[in-house]
Amino acid sequence: MHEDLTSIVALDTFIANIDRSNENLLYLKEQDRFYGIDQTRSLHYPIAHHCYERIKQAKNNGYLTKCPQNILECLTEYKKKLQTLYDTFSNETMHQMIDHLIPYVADNTLENVGLQEAIQCLKNNFEDNRKYVLNII
């Protein structure tokens, strides 16, 4: 598997991007590089929990003992990249980054209950994702 894909999957898990598809995955042949674009559906769903459950199911079904070595290597690399992201960006740092973006949202008043709920949801989802990341593999 191309190293860029592991990085993109790790970043998508980290920011809880549930909308990765072929349309927003670009490959530049001249550079032999993949690029992920469009993260608009990020931090709205605790995706790390979903990944954890899928990999746990694969373990319980014995798939991980039967799968090719390169798949296990990709999963190990995926976990390392996720761990690096979580080591680099603490909950507090991510909360500050989310708060920093609020002025750029239309109708960003404190009275906007929907916005306040969305902000709290983003922060909670980030923290929930962190809980599962070390248990993925």
At residue 75, the pLDDT reads: 86
For 97-125, the pLDDT digits (tens) are 888 888 887 777 777 888 888 788 888 87
At residue 56, the pLDDT reads: 86
Domain count, the chain: 1
Note down the domain range covering 63. Answer: 3-133
75 Cβ neighbours under 8 A, 6+ residues apart: 55, 64, 136, 137
Task: Look at residue 79 and tell me whether its pLDDT is greater than 90.
Answer: no
Region 29-44: what's the mean pLDDT? 86
Distance of CA 131 to the CA centre of its chain: 13
Counting residues of the chain whose pLDDT is more than 90, the rounded percentage is 19
The helix, strand and coil proportions of the chain, stated in percent and rounded to the nearest 5, come to 65, 5, 30
In this predicted model, which residue has the larger pLDDT, 136 or 58?
58
